Structure formats: C-alpha cells, structure tokens
A and B are shown apart, each in its own frame.
Chain A
Amino acid sequence: MSARNLALALAATSLGCAQLRSLPGGDLVAGAAEKNAGIVGENLARSVESGEFQKTATFTMEQEYYVGKTVCASVLSRMGGDVLPPTHPAAVYARRVGTALAFAAADLRDEDSRPYPMKGFLFIPARSEAVNAAGAPGGFVSVTTGVFRAARSEDELAAVLAHEIAHVQLGHTMQPIEAARKQEQMTGVLLEGTSSVVHAFFGKVVDAGTDFVLDRGFGKANELAADALAVRILAAAGYDPGALGVFLSRLAGQAAKGGFFSRHPPAAERVEALSHVTVQAPPAPGEAALAARRKRFQAAQASVKG
C-alpha cells in the first residue's frame, strides 16, 4: 500500500462508510477504511486521552458554540430527551449555581484555556434516573435530575457542575473534534471543499463529540485534571472544595449503573488524587448562608421528585 493510499485509508475510517460511498472515489476509500477501522479508532481515542491535540486548538469561540450546541442536543437526546424548561425551578437553580462557578472559572483561566463560551455557560437539566452530567464544547452542560437526587447539598451539586466546566475550559471537549480534523486534513481527495463533504464532516464530529462526552470520557489524565480544576473552581466560588471528594466517595458503587461514574477512573482513585490537590479554602460561610443553601437545594431537589 502506498503512503498516499494508506493516508486515504486512515482518514477514511474517521467517516462513516455510508457517507464515504456517497463521495467521489468513495468505494475505493471505504474498502480500505473497513480494513483499518479498529486501528484508527484506537488512534483517535489515544490522541484524545493523551491530550496531544489540546494545544492545537484552532477553532474560534463561535465555531465551538455551533458544534457544541449540536453535540449538546445529541447528548440530551441520548439522555432521554426530557429536557426541563428554563423556567423550571431546578433549571433556574442549576443556572444560578452554575453561573457562580463559571464566574470563578473565568478568573482561573490561563493562556491555554479555551475561550470563554460565546453565550456563557448554560446548564440544562434533563429528567433521568441515571446520575449523569456532560460538558459539551461551547459551555453546554447537561445534568440529569438523577444528580439532583444523588447530591446531598448545593456544594455537591456544584462539584459535579464544576467538573464539567473544567472539561470545557481545559479544552477536553474539543479534543475529539480536533483529533477528527487532524485525520481529515490528510485526505486531499475527500476534502476538495464541496459543501456536502464539509457537512459530512460536521455530522461526524458531532457523533464523535457525543461519544466522548457521554460514553468514553477523556482519559484518566484529563479526568483527574478536570477534578483538580473543579476543586479550585469550587474554592474560588465560595463552595466547599472537599464536596467533590465527598460526592465521589459516597457514590462509588454507582459505576456499575453507568453515567457520570462509568466513564471516569474509579472513584477511589479520583479521591486519592484529590487528596494531593492543594487549594486555599474560601472564607467559611456563616450559619445563615449555610441554612440558605440548604433550603434552596432542598427546594430544587423537591421540584424534580416524583
């Protein structure tokens, strides 16, 4: 196999075979693709998990917004599609808690951070028994009502949201898309620029992005990095930085049920890693503040029961 054909085959495996056959020269490429599908799938996953594409981010906040919005719709559909309206008490509450965290995250940005989302971070609850949350490019954070029920405090709910904000800010959610683009750019034949090819690419990266944020996760190193940043975000926002460890420890047994825990390293490993994260604790909240947090958390939790 020549280097050119090998490159074609490599790139071809990143598109669905049905899509490939509708493209010029598609049969040739698709045939080669089927031979190498497993290898390239491994390469894509390895690239994402190693984070090697993180610093090659070439997409603007506007581009990230549009692909992220579509990934979010796909994620919510796979969560069951029963999305709470923005006026629902739990949605209002998630928006406030999440925005307090997003403000703190904005002040923790560094030069490697992804641009702040074009329309800010959005926190979108969906009805589901599963304990699950997923950050998508562009600041779209989906969270199931199962998380509201599993958390025991506002600080624990905040910990889950902070972890997803961290994935977005660290660029993890864009890594599958960057990785797919890297493979794509090798194929001169496929990418002569017709709109149908570009559209096929868009559909492919939405699928890849959904798979990673919902099923695969971003690899152990990135998950632990997101945990560490989440702790800093929690502290900067004024929440208990230990809340993530408490939540993980209590729900360690949930991994077998899928969702938030199944695509991450084991909870015990995450808790152990968190023990090495040092952060300056925020000023201790007064009794009145703690009572207010408790009251509004319980109200939000009650709104998603039944």
Chain B
Amino acid sequence: MIRIRTMLVALAALAAPAALAGSAPPAGKVGDTVQVKREGVRLMKAARFYGTACAETVAAGAKVKIVERQKSWARIASPGGGRCWLHESAWSDRTAGELTQNTTAGSQRDVELAGRGFSEDEERKYRGEKPDLAPVFQAVDAHVAAGEPPPEEMNAFAAEGGLGGGR
C-alpha cells in the first residue's frame, strides 16, 4: 500500500506543470491600454471607493488608456475627459492556462481544459439536470441582479457608521 501510494503521489507530481510563472499579469502602467473585464465597475472622481462617482460609465470589454497611477487606482484618459479613476481590479484578470507555459503535451492539455467547461452554457445544462435547485438558482439570480450597492448608498452607509478606514 505504501508503495502504491508513493507511486500515485509521484505521478501526481509529474502531472504538475514544470514551469509556473506564479504571478498575475502586470497591473497596468501609465501609458498602457487595458481592457475592462468586470461588470458594474465604478468610475470615481478621486482614487478611492467612497466619494463622488463620475457620471460616465465603462462597460466590460471597453479599452481604456491609463494616464496616472495612485497605488491600486488609475486615472484614465476616457471616458470622463481624464477626470475619472478606475480601480485596477476592473481589468486584472488571468488568461486561461497562463501559468502553465511550457510546451509539453500535459501542459497543453492544461490550457485546453482551463479554457473549457465553465461557462454560461454549462451552468444552463447543469440547471436543466437539477430541477430541484431551480428555486435556489432563481434566488441567486435575484441577488446577482441586485448587484453591489450604488456609490451614493455606500457613501451614506460608510459615513453613518464611520467606515472607509478614514478615507
């Protein structure tokens, strides 16, 4: 049993990709153009989550140019005429399989697998097979639709309770 276990562990280790970069993509420098990945991101008039939001919005998929950085925030050229700040979490994503960058067959399969199977279509199939979960999925959908509270709601909540870390 011990020998089998040792072999299994060794095989599992062999299956791990040999070269792991181990870090997320660059966060975006001044002059870079980055693509927004998230939905419902906030454009703020200062580099913070609380305060006045810009009237402009930016949708997932939009490309924006960075003109200034302050810690995890970036002032973007547009929309907003260079007045609006976007948090880097709006564009910081990973590419499927990016950390398995060697060219062996195993890692190629990693890349293929990482890019498949976790999609809206897969969720739909799963829901079709589990009708008993329909009420719970509908409830989750309702919470997704509600989304994050809008800036003015969070401003009031934070101000009333002394939140925001003094920012």
Chain A residues in 8 Å Cβ range of B160: 289, 292, 296
Say whether B7 faces chain A, with CB atoms less than 8 Å apart: yes
Chain A residues in 8 Å Cβ range of B164: 100, 103, 237-238
Which interface residue of A40, A111, A185 has the most chain B CB atoms within 10 A? A185
Chain B residues in 8 Å Cβ range of A193: 112, 116
Q: Identify the closest chain A residue to B16 (Cβ).
A: A182
> In the complex, which of the residues A3, A6, A40, A115 contacts B37, with contact meaning CB atoms closer than 8 Å?
A115
A203 vs B133: C-alpha distance when bound (angstroms)? 14
Say whether B106 faces chain A, with CB atoms less than 8 Å apart: yes
B1-48 CB contacts (< 8 Å) to partner A: 4-5, 7-9, 11-12, 15-17, 20, 22-24, 27, 37-40
Whether B15 pairs with A182 at a CB distance below 8 angstroms is yes
Whether B8 pairs with A56 at a CB distance below 8 angstroms is no
B135-167 CB contacts (< 8 Å) to partner A: 135-137, 139-140, 142-149, 153-154, 157-158, 160-166
Chain B residues in 8 Å Cβ range of A100: 154, 157-158, 163-164
Chain A residues in 8 Å Cβ range of B143: 83, 86, 91, 122-124
Chain B residues in 8 Å Cβ range of A229: none
The total of chain A residues at the interface (CB under 8 A) is 88
Whether B144 pairs with A63 at a CB distance below 8 angstroms is no
Say whether A119 faces chain B, with CB atoms less than 8 Å apart: yes
The total of chain B residues at the interface (CB under 8 A) is 80
Whether B99 pairs with A55 at a CB distance below 8 angstroms is yes
Q: Identify the closest chain B residue to A40 (Cβ).
A: B8
Chain B residues in 8 Å Cβ range of A6: 7-8, 11
Say whether B63 faces chain A, with CB atoms less than 8 Å apart: no
Chain A residues in 8 Å Cβ range of B111: 58
Q: Closest approach, in angstroms, between the C-beta of B131 and any C-beta of chain A?
A: 12
Q: Closest approach, in angstroms, between the C-beta of A298 and any C-beta of chain B?
A: 13
Which interface residue of B133, B143, B165 has the most chain A CB atoms within 10 A? B143
Whether B118 pairs with A202 at a CB distance below 8 angstroms is yes
A146 vs B114: C-alpha distance when bound (angstroms)? 37
> In the complex, which of the residues B27, B122, B135, B145 contacts A199, with contact meaning CB atoms closer than 8 Å?
B122
- Known: A99-B148, A109-B72, A109-B89. Is A72-B140 also a contact (CB below 8 A)? yes
> In the complex, which of the residues B72, B116, B140, B157 contacts A107, with contact meaning CB atoms closer than 8 Å?
B72
Chain A residues in 8 Å Cβ range of B142: 85-86
Residues of A near any B CB (own CB < 8 A): 3, 6-7, 10, 36, 39-40, 43, 47, 55-64, 66-67, 69-70, 72-74, 76-77, 81, 83, 85-87, 91, 95-96, 99-100, 102-104, 106-107, 109, 111-113, 115-124, 140, 154, 181-186, 188, 191, 193, 198-199, 201-203, 206, 235-239, 282-283, 285-286, 289-290, 292-293, 296
Q: List 21 A-B contacts (CB under 8 A).
A: A40-B8, A47-B12, A55-B22, A59-B96, A61-B94, A66-B118, A100-B163, A104-B165, A109-B92, A111-B24, A111-B27, A118-B39, A119-B147, A120-B40, A120-B148, A188-B109, A199-B117, A199-B122, A202-B126, A283-B162, A292-B160
7 A-B pairs with the lowest CB-CB distances in the bound complex, closest first: A289-B162, A116-B89, A285-B162, A83-B139, A86-B146, A63-B118, A58-B114
Residues of B near any A CB (own CB < 8 A): 4-5, 7-9, 11-12, 15-17, 20, 22-24, 27, 37-40, 49-50, 60, 71-72, 87-90, 92-100, 106, 109-114, 116-120, 122-123, 125-126, 129, 132-133, 135-137, 139-140, 142-149, 153-154, 157-158, 160-166
